[in-house]
Amino acid sequence: MGLTITDERQLGGAVRHERLARGLDQRDLAELAGVSTSSLRRLEAGQGSTVRTVLAVAGALDLCVALTGVEREPAHHRRRAPSRTRGRPALQRREERVSLELHRAVARRVRADGPEVREMAKANLEKVSRTVRGPQASAWVREWSEALEGPTGALIDLLVREDEHGVDMRQVSPFAGVLSAEDRVAAIRRAREW
């Protein structure tokens, strides 16, 4: 399903609608997406969200979200997003560990069904590349594109990197829809065992 979103409240309402249509509560969807329940709650309420959260939730719901013509609030009304501290050890946050476990499961699929998984990721990457903004995110998309064309070992290494760059790359992962619901739930359980 594709959505064209022009403001945060519209996005939040669409996510909530899809979640309820699938019979999921907020905790279930947050776990499937690898985000905190409070992050999902803010997203659904239209109270600000990170791109990573939007992409993770959209991926869990198999949604293609295109952000176009986003209306900006006056600067004095905007909330500042918390900055990510450079040098912070990777994988300290639960959602980072869940994302890594999900991508480990994707790596297993790449080994088993390489061409099929690569084609799905390439199709997703085309969609992501049309919606991503900013030089850093664009560079990550290019890096995924190169990895999808490169050797399997290099792609798998990128999928499962445990450093900060791996965490960043997984924020624009093109592997939505590659895993079954059972595979996602199993990965979430593995992340809880850390």
Q: Of all helices (H) and strands (E), which one includes residue 107? A: helix 94-131
Lowest mean pLDDT of 20-24, 66-70, 74-78, 168-172, name the range.
74-78
pLDDT of res. 82: 39
* Residue-averaged pLDDT of the chain: 82
Cα(50)–Cα(167) distance, rounded to whole angstroms?
14
What confidence score (pLDDT) does residue 84 get? 41
What is the distance between the alpha carbons of residues 87 and 98, in angstroms, rounded to a whole number? 20
At residue 128, what are phi and psi to the nearest 5 degrees? -60, -45
The pLDDT value recorded for residue 177 is 93
**CATH code for the domain defined by 2-72:** 1.10.260.40
136 vs 132: CA distance, rounded Å: 10
For the chain, domain boundaries: 2-72, 94-192
The letter for the amino acid at 186 is A
Q: Give the pLDDT of residue 76.
A: 42
